[in-house]
């Protein structure tokens, strides 16, 4: 929305532990992100489906790298590879 | 002559007036698919903003106002029309779907935005609940209020023609 928008957008569901796992990883790496909250009903998550092909959350979009992905374990791996130990993707 | 119904008069409101700077705020902004935090200052940086404060989702004035906005096709203006009520993002998503709203709605359950704008309505018979009075503010790119309307009685509906004139002056 503005020039200062963070490059990472996290699609999440309120109170979803898998989403919180991704949040914790992003915070641990000091990564700025924006949250978009979706509905509990899978059928109402077309915004996520358009991005990843699936309606599951968490899902992230990283504009730094052009990466879009879902599944918390995959996302955590990705974040650690891309942003862990001073490495930059 | 005695009326058999009661239109409640609001006391005068010390609200943000035309020519003043609109207070900035950030709240979850809900569309038909998701919500994310957004600030008024971000919105006005893109185009003029029409802020419509309305009673909680599910009340008949909330439905009436958004039906009017839809019928008047305010989505065609080069301005961002947004609602503000105390309802949750979940309720906003339902209202957007049920009424067919083409605009985004700020969720402000704590009613802090109405406090900032001086348009608080403490609800009689709903202990501990306050919400905005019906109100409309047209805000330009400098966040200056170019038009302000605040309900003087309850219920009262926005003067849509006046708001349209204020938008057309800006775009």
- Domain encompassing residue A24: 8-86
Say yes or no for a CB contact (<8 Å) between B36 and A37: yes
Tell me whether residue A2 is in a domain: no
A37: contact with B, CB 8 A cutoff: yes
**Can you give the CATH number for the domain in which B34 is found?**
3.40.30.10
What does the pLDDT average to over B70-99?
A: 98
Per-residue model confidence (pLDDT) at position B1: 58
Report ipTM (2 d.p.).
0.88
B4-31 pLDDT, tens per residue? Answer: 888 889 999 999 999 999 999 999 999 9
Q: Is A11 on the interface with B (CB under 8 A)?
A: yes
Which contiguous run of DSSP H or E holds residue B42?
Answer: helix B40-46
Cα–Cα distance between B136 and B95 in angstroms, integer?
19
Q: What is the mean pLDDT of residues A18-30?
A: 96
Domain-embedded: residue B153: yes
CB-CB under 8 Å, B42 with A39? no
Q: What is the mean pLDDT of chain B?
A: 96
Separation between Cα atoms, residue B119 and residue B43, nearest integer Å = 21
Give the DSSP letter string of B103-130: SEEEE-TT-HHHHHHT-EEEPTTSTT-E
Query: Which CATH number is A26's domain given?
Result: 3.40.30.10
As for how many domains chain B has, the answer is 1
pLDDT score for B151:
97
Give the closest of A35, A39, A44 to B36, CB-based: A35
């Amino acid at each position: 929305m503005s020039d200062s928008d963070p490059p990472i957008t996290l699609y999440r569901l309120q109170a979803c532990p898998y989403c919180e796992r991704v949040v914790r990883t992003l915070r641990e790496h000091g990564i700025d992100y924006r949250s978009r909250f979706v509905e509990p009903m899978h059928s109402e998550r077309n915004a996520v489906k358009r991005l990843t092909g699936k309606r599951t959350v968490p899902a992230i979009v990283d504009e730094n790298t052009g990466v879009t992905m879902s599944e918390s374990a995959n996302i955590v791996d990705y974040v650690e590879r891309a942003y862990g130990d001073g490495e930059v993707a | 002559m005695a009326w058999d119904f009661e239109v409640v008069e609001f006391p005068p409101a010390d609200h943000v007036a035309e020519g003043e700077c609109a207070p900035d705020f950030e709240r979850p902004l809900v569309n038909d698919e998701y919500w994310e935090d957004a600030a008024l200052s971000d919105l006005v940086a893109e185009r003029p903003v029409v802020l419509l404060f309305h009673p909680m989702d599910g009340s008949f004035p909330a439905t009436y106002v958004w039906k009017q906005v839809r019928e008047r096709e305010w989505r065609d203006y080069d301005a961002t029309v947004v609602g503000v009520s105390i309802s949750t993002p979940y309720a906003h998503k339902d209202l957007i779907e049920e009424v067919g709203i083409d605009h985004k709605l700020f969720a402000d359950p704590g009613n802090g935005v109405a406090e900032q704008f001086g348009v608080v309505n403490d609800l009689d018979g709903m202990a501990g609940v306050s919400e905005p009075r019906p109100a409309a503010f047209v805000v330009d790119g400098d966040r200056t209020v170019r038009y302000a309307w605040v309900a003087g009685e309850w219920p009262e509906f926005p003067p849509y023609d006046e708001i349209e004139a204020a938008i057309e002056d800006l775009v």
